[in-house]
Chains A and B, each alone.
Chain A
């Protein structure tokens, strides 16, 4: 180690080329001014103070005097320590203070998630993936992690309602059964509208109900899945199909507006990342091509990205198929005729010929190791072309599974017309919200009003429930039984807590209806589920008794159940027509790209504070869905970030702010679905409802054109975190292309350590450190949500986020590089670096923060007086201050989600990442109790455990054999702002991109 005393500031190793905001890129005076103030002026604004109550001055003084006197008498026994109340009969598995884990599961749309639920004192507090599941391996989607909040949602309906007043279950059952029995005798249809049915037992139950009530019409509807995906699959396979990516086999991935890395599919993210963690130049790496209109999270991870209009993607896909056939000799499937399809780049598509050839070459050379993924917002033609491409390539990187049919919007519209015509005797709406998500919501409401009996099954009263006479509140999935099919696995969902309220699992309602209709049915779904398992899943001739078998299945959360379903056969008959339609599709003027919201999906999560406050991984917007514009379009329309516009299309007018998004294709505006709800305190008033803009009956309902866009002259403050921390020209993040990696790997590590006045820290036992691999990190924010769940992190709301007061201990910082219209993007998780020479430690006037002998920077809340000097000194700006009381007024049920091992911070204290010190201490104590040393990987902070890409590694840097020590020595390793000499304990591994052409995105 060579120590130099520099007389001039050391220039950074990499000349800074990254930028975060458009202001910063151009270094406007506003940017410089904003960089000046760490904390915005007015730490406590008059507007922040709670509204004064209706109390006169005399009244206040009176209470003050009385209270002082009362206080003297009210708690006479100062020495009382409270009460301690044990169980009367302790359930055997509950040891107070010890967490219990239950394997369970849930589904979202068609996706199934096998989970492990951590409970404390009988209530769930944290959700992770099921470690026994061979695919998920302990990982899951961030929306599922956040869904625990819905269990404790204070707005959950706590008991049945009939005609708007509380009622008992027997009464609502009686009325509903009577309505169905009448319908049966009269032969009138009953509409049952549900979400996707991912459970074979639920499917069996629905079949039983249909047998008992032949006029039952069941429609399964997922608003977030575009009709294009459904119709494309049906045209090609004759049945609904789900294409499950198997990216571990993919060397080349072509994503057509497909956001497969957005956090919903942990298996895909893990497989994708597994081929990007190079330790030496020359190792194989996959390549991701993305063609899309709006910059998606997947697009931000692309090696090659070409912004195109979404309506052009179908033609592009067919042209690719044609050229793969004519130029690279890939055979077409039987019955497919592409002679009418022109080869080469389709007209009007802004894609250079050289890029086109290179894309074709990549796909052809990868062959079965290539896969094409199509976003669900695209047209049916685009999906057909994608299926064709995968069939031509013989792709192994995709598993096709037949799926239950979902209802398309025309099918739903027909049902609405039926309701309006008085066809239906009753309607049961289960886990759907058409009054919000159906594009013609007004038509829905008017039609539903004509149905005599309207029953709703759901968690909290929503827009649809407002019209229903019978409200049957259901259990949250954490309180309920179910099973799911996941390829060849049968996955089980079991309750992790008894029902909180007087609710009933939706399936139990169906069983009550079955019994009411005279069919034989068990009393509860648990019995029904077990009976079906005993009949169909339990292997016949097994030496293990069924009860024991089922117990083990519940313990593990899953069993192998036969083979994976056979892939459906490819039928290319309609492809010629589809190709012709793809080329005929044009869009006049600008086009609008609608997509499911990152946080909200189709609006079901709009009431979830954690998800609303997690910044969108690309735009970093919270609590709102602005209209995203390309920078070019914004300049043309004279719009800036935050300007309000009016978007008018086919009778719907929306007023919303705009955000200029680098990477957005010119001529494309995009908008997230799932906002603009009108029920629920958290969801109401956040964003606008974009569902009315969806075109029912169109081949691509989520792609619109012919709208009018007009500035209103107003402007709004955006709750957007992208501008919250500034680069100031510093070298913070590193990205390399593979070629650069090969050259620069040696020159990369600095050899001069800045001289330090402080003596070296000594770490006798452990020194905890982390390695974060930016090449594996996708930017999904799963770490952030898991951290929020584990560490009781507050939700502050949009006004506070706008002031920069979001409380996330780990955040994703997004950096752009290159041209504004198509930058390369890198995501960097930023958290407390636990610096050895932490600049925050020596400025605390009360010594509330200091260093532990294991390398952690400790934050002691009880000492902190809120000077905020430490946050001022932190170069990484990872310290979060509780400017207001965000948590202390929470009572049951909201307070039940807290982790009892972590303090709930009040106003006035500073907080930051602790490396989940509660888990570290617990791990050490367990090992000590078992008389053994700690194993590497035994202690996992929440972010480490949650990351599906395994981008974060944690361990003991003093152990030379630990994974973290090995990775920290990587030739891709760097430390952020290392030149400051704070000695962070976190090593980042540079992001790698595998572009087809050198020279960055300027070069083409």
Chain B
């Protein structure tokens, strides 16, 4: 079967790739596109380590066919920092040691950014529910949630 030719925007860059019809977006990100920041934890949508945004919507890239990206705006962890300047969430995760092994971190960051883009002032319980689909195998949830809340507070302060 012929490969499919897909045109999409990945982290703001017009991008073209070839994929098999049954390949997932995660396969293509990590393979031909070389964007290995998105991790494959479970491959079944349970762990959130492969989180990306698709036209601004948080999704698991393992639960999406690469072919579905045609014409879409895809954002991954690689597009989060601006050049050498880390996104406030990335900086805060470092400052507050909100990571241990790091496998869940890209997904946590992408998911947390999607939350703060929608809701700049989430409660702790809103953060916990929003991130319920992002599993941390080191069980470091508390520091992650605190870092997200701290970042939100700092970003609110910055826009004042």
Chains A and B come from one and the same complex: no
Q: Give B residues with C-beta under 8 Å from A.
A: none
Q: Give A residues with C-beta under 8 Å from B.
A: none
